[in-house]
Amino acid sequence: MVVLSACGTAGGGTDASGSAEVVDVDAAKAQVAADMKDPSGMGNQLLPLKAKPSSDTKVVWLACDIEPTCTNHGKGLEEAAAAAGVGFTRIAYQMSSVESLLAAFDHAMDLHPDAILLSAMPKAAYASKLPQLEAAGIPVVTAYTASTDVGGGVSATVANQQTATAQFKALANWTIADSGATAKALVLNLPDFDYYQPGIKLLKDTLASACRDCTPSVLDVATTDLAAGAVPGKVISALQADPSINYVLCVTGGASTGLSAALKAAGLDGKVTVGGQSATPAVLQEIKSGDLFKAWTSTGTAQAAWAQMDQALRAIERSEVLPTGPELPIQLLTVSNIEDVQTQYGTDPNFRATFEKLWNP
């Protein structure tokens, strides 16, 4: 927990008047230690299903296009569908195009599914389709959206702002602890992805409160920038424009692709520290190298995918769902607690067996 105090505390400081609020760096360090522990337990998961899902059950996923997050989530959904013994169809759409999303909904409805799963788009973008879906008895279960607004055709939302803000809070605490509350950060944001926005605000507000001169800068990048490999160049330009920046915080692992090489080529290695959230194997390898990347948060995309499938199966059989989704664990990763870069950290080690037991009453 970041603790603000009206008087000096360990690692903090005051302004010339001696009355400025300062951050308790020791408290941030203590929370970092807690966030680095291996998670366990399934939180508020529900009771078993009423019955094993029928093999005739059809689930359609409308697939987002942020890499590698969306691809990894899709792999988890496919794996979960196979474990549950239900049919699974993937329909791709472009997050930058509402028209593409609505067309994907039309395609999905033509398949007469038992449920539609959606990732990464706010409810307002597809609200026009919900009356038709609700009338047809086709529940929608979302993931990776900021909204916890359910009802009106949306049965549940998984990995929502509660998960995102937990990761960003851990990242903020690490940044304060690592820098001794002196970080001047550049925060990479994906405004097309509403899931991240509450966490971005929390991160900005927390860092800004850490010290008088620590207000972070925000660099908005588009999903098309990620696909085009344009993010490193934008980061270098921002760093060259403001040499006081000493931390780069990435909204997702995919936003860091090519960043390490770009920083070195620009002669900025040793001048900035890189952290972020939603770690990927490539990010974990960078951290293990002990070079520019120092810390990343993770919540297992596979567990989130299985949780989304679990909520869909409950909606299909009209049993109790968790409207704002199950609690998902997070973990802060540094060189000291990364062993295998292919491991999905921030995940309960027994989640697959737990879900399979719930689905086979």
pLDDT of residue 125 exceeding 50, the answer is: yes
Mark 273-302 as b/e (b = at least 16 C-beta within 10 Å).
Answer: bbbbbbbbebbbebbbeeebbbbbbbbbbb
Give the Å distances, CA to CA, from 41 to 130, 161, 329: 34, 21, 9
Please name each of the domains of the chain with its CATH number.
Answer: 4-35+163-298 (3.40.50.2300), 58-159+301-327+351-359 (3.40.50.2300)
Query: pTM above 0.95?
Result: no
Least Cα distance to 300 among 47, 40, 28 occurs for: 40
| Rounded mean pLDDT, 2-29 | 49
Mean pLDDT computed over 88-95: 95
Asked if 341 contacts 175 with a C-beta cutoff of 8 angstroms, the reply is no
Instruction: Give the single-character DSSP code of 34.
Output: H
Do 143 and 159 form a contact (C-beta atoms < 8 A)?
yes
Lowest mean pLDDT among 10-24, 77-91, 114-128, 205-219: 10-24
pLDDT of residue 205: 92
What is the per-residue DSSP string for 104-173?
HHHHHHHT--SEEEEES--GGGTGGGHHHHHHHT--EEEES-S----BTTEEEEES-HHHHHHHHHHHHH
| Integer CA distances (angstroms), 82 to 69, 76, 143, 245, 309, in order | 20, 10, 19, 47, 11
What is the C-alpha to C-alpha distance for residues 113 and 260, in angstroms, rounded to an integer? Answer: 44
Neighbours of 265 (CB within 10 A): 11
Which of 108, 159, 158, 100 minimizes the C-alpha distance to 138? 108
Name the token pair of 22. 């300062």
Q: Calculate the CA 72 to chain-centre distance.
A: 12
Q: What is the pLDDT of residue 12?
A: 45
Total residue length of the chain: 361
Residue 37 DSSP code: S
Residue 172 has pLDDT above 80, yes or no: yes
The full 3-state SS of 189-233, as one line of letters, equals ECCCCHHHHHHHHHHHHHHHHHCCCCCCEEEECCHHHHHHCCHHH
Distance of alpha carbon 296 from alpha carbon 65, whole angstroms? 22
- Yes or no: say if 214 and 55 are a contact pair by the CB < 8 Å rule: no
Question: Partners of 90 in the beta sheet?
Answer: 61
The yes-or-no verdict on residue 4 having pLDDT over 90 is no
Cα–Cα dist 170/31, whole Å = 8
Q: pLDDT value at position 227? A: 85
Q: Describe the strand order of the beta sheet including 154-158 as a list of residue ranges.
A: 87-92, 58-63, 115-119, 140-143, 154-158
* Cis amide prior to 232 (ω within 30 degrees): no
Please count the helices (runs of H) and the strands (runs of E) in the chain: 12, 13
Residue 358: in which H helix or E strand, if any? helix 351-359
Q: What pLDDT sits at residue 83? A: 98
Q: Would you place residue 179 in the very low, low, confident or very high pLDDT band (cuts 50, 70, 90)?
A: very high
Reduced to 3 states (helix: H, G, I; strand: E, B; else coil), residue 303 is helix
In the predicted model, is pLDDT for residue 174 greater than 80?
Answer: yes
Q: Which residues contact 320 (CB under 8 A, 6 or more apart)?
A: 46, 47, 314
C-alpha distance from residue 111 to each of 59, 78, 160 (Å)? 10, 17, 27
The pLDDT tens digits of the residues spanning 279-289 come to: 999 999 999 99
Portion of the chain with pLDDT greater than 90, in percent: 71
* pLDDT at res. 23: 66
Average pLDDT of span 320-340: 91
* pLDDT reading at 10 higher than 70: no
